[in-house]
Amino acid sequence: MFNLRDKGAEIWESQGRVGRVAIAVGAVAIVAALPFMGGTFLNTPVADYESVLVYPIAMFVLMAIGLNIVIGKSGLLDLGYVAFFAIGAYTMGLLGTKTDLNTWEILPIGIAMAMFSGIILGVPALKLRGDYLAIITLGFGEIVRIVALNLGALGRSEGIQGIPTPPGIFGIEYAFDSHRIYYWTLLILIMFAIWMVRRLSVRRAGRAWESIRQDEDVAELMGVPTFKYKVWAFVLGASVGGAAGVFYASKTLFIAPDNFTLQISILILACVVFGGMGNIWGVILGAVILGYLPDRIRFISDARLLVFGLVLVIMMNLRPDGLLPRKKREKVIVKKERS
């Protein structure tokens, strides 16, 4: 089968420095220009096209990159990723309405809160085997939602309203309906996350995660402090989720427990696996498609989730490694291990 991932890598590797810069700049320019393409075939029939670009698409991409650190890089199955998203969003909601702090000041606090809860959850949970990690994270996601639903301070089912928009910086104003500004800001966040993951992947942490994913026992025996790096992967993933949450709350101005159901965790997981676990471009592609598709096919409004489910089944049966799988070299090792 035609392998888009290897083809892309080939083109990239055959280029010199100038060519690579040109490709990168071109790609960023195309992505940044997406809000202007509302009138074309890309348009979504019901929802406002530009707001779909912000949520779900860009938000899903950001979260999928974060979850990819946990699942794709180090092979830990996290079914409650939405918890970190919710913690970020509620931090923004509470501090934004109760204090004078603005979004940019709350962003690091929200990230810290998400990371902290990542440690709280990760330290006991990561000692367990993979399948149990899945159920514990799933439980954690539900606990966070239920606590938000029942705690008076968090607004119960009404949630938190009147969350402020980010204050303008560099003369750019964030009106709540100027979606493209939010889109571009998210784009910067996404690029920062990509940069972070790519830098980490080629360093000690990336190698440790790779070894944990392939065989945890062997990694441990070879002297990799597996537990420490598992917690790191978990906490870094949480930080990206928290950042997405802060920004989400600041964009929608209103959050409620219903925005943070298990379905979101599952959707983000689907983005990662659908796009191609472990390969950051695949994950991004998966998130774009799964974020965009339900809105694009809204003309069959009632059955769109049905069609979405069918697409998942058919896709996984045809390409179980996802649309853009990780490098062949890594896949061979995994195959060998399984047989």
Partner 1 sequence: MIGNFLDQFWSLTFGGLSLGFIYILIALGYTMVYGVLRMINFANSEIFMVGTFATIIIIRDVFKFTQLSEYATGFRLWLILGTALIFAMLVSGVLSVVVEIVAYRRLRRMNSGILAPLISAIGVSMVLAESVRILTDSRPVASPRAMEKKFIGQFFDAGIRIDNTIIVISTLILFVILITFVNKTRMGKAIRAVSMNPNAARLMGINIDGVVSATFLVGGLMTGAAGFFYALKYENTSSNIGFELGIAAFTAAILGGIGNIKGAFYGGLALGLLETYASFFLGTQWKAVTVFVVLILVLYTKPNGLFGEALTQTRA
Can you read off the two tokens belonging to residue 268? Answer: 């983000």
3-state secondary structure at position 255 = strand
Asked if 112 touches partner 1 (CB under 8 A), the answer is no
Asked if 273 touches partner 1 (CB under 8 A), the answer is yes
Q: Which 59-88 residues touch partner 1, going by CB under 8 A?
A: 71, 77
**What spatial distance separates the first Cα and last Cα of the chain, rounded to whole Å?**
22
Q: Which listed residue (42, 128, 191, 332) binds partner 1 by CB under 8 A?
A: 128
Read off the DSSP letter of residue 202: T
Q: Which listed residue (95, 125, 233, 285) binds partner 1 by CB under 8 A?
A: 125
Asked if 301 touches partner 1 (CB under 8 A), the answer is no
Q: Residue 279 CB, nearest distance to partner 1 (Å)? A: 14
Asked if 46 touches partner 1 (CB under 8 A), the answer is no
Q: Which listed residue (29, 33, 202, 313) binds partner 1 by CB under 8 A?
A: 313
3-state secondary structure at position 307 = helix
Residue whose token pair is 């990780």: 326
Asked if 323 touches partner 1 (CB under 8 A), the answer is no
The amino acid at residue 142 is E
Burial of 112-142, coded b for 16+ CB within 10 Å and e otherwise, reads: ebbbebbeebbeebbeeeeeebbebbbebbb
Q: Which listed residue (142, 210, 216, 295) binds partner 1 by CB under 8 A?
A: 142
- Residue 265: closest CA among 101, 89, 139: 139
Q: Residue 28 CB, nearest distance to partner 1 (Å)? A: 30
Count of chain residues binding partner 1 (CB under 8 A): 46
Nearer to partner 1, 87 or 111 (CB): 87
| Cis before 45 (ω within 30) | no
Choose the stretch contacting partner 1; rule: CB under 8 A; options: 107-115, 188-196, 228-236, 267-275. Answer: 267-275
Asked if 256 touches partner 1 (CB under 8 A), the answer is no
d(CA 249, CA 73) in angstroms, rounded, equals: 28
Asked if 124 touches partner 1 (CB under 8 A), the answer is yes
Return the number of other C-beta atoms located less than 10 Å from residue 303's C-beta: 11
Nearer to partner 1, 132 or 176 (CB): 132
Question: In angstroms, how far is CA 334 from the centroid of its own chain?
Answer: 24
Q: Which listed residue (140, 183, 232, 248) binds partner 1 by CB under 8 A?
A: 140
Nearer to partner 1, 48 or 220 (CB): 220
Read off the DSSP letter of residue 257: G
Return the number of other C-beta atoms located less than 10 Å from residue 191's C-beta: 13
Residue whose token pair is 């709280």: 120
Residue 306 neighbours by CB under 8 Å, 6+ apart: none
3-state secondary structure at position 104 = helix
Q: Fill in the per-residue mask, 144 to 183: x = in contact with partner 1 (CB under 8 A), - = not in contact.
A: --xx-xx---------------------------------
Q: Which listed residue (131, 170, 217, 299) binds partner 1 by CB under 8 A?
A: 131
Q: Can you give the three-state secondary structure of 124-191, one letter per residue?
A: HHCCCCHHHHHHHHHHHHHHHHHHHHHCHHHCHHHCECCCCCCCCECCECCCCCCHHHHHHHHHHHHH
Q: Residue 264 CB, nearest distance to partner 1 (Å)? A: 13
Q: Which listed residue (12, 36, 104, 132) binds partner 1 by CB under 8 A?
A: 132
Q: Which listed residue (41, 129, 217, 299) binds partner 1 by CB under 8 A?
A: 129
Q: Which listed residue (4, 37, 194, 311) binds partner 1 by CB under 8 A?
A: 311
- Give the residues lining the site for partner 1 (CB under 8 A): 71, 77, 124-125, 127-129, 131-132, 134-136, 138-140, 142-143, 146-147, 149-150, 262, 266, 269-270, 273-274, 277, 302-303, 305-306, 308-313, 316-317, 320-321, 334-335, 338-339
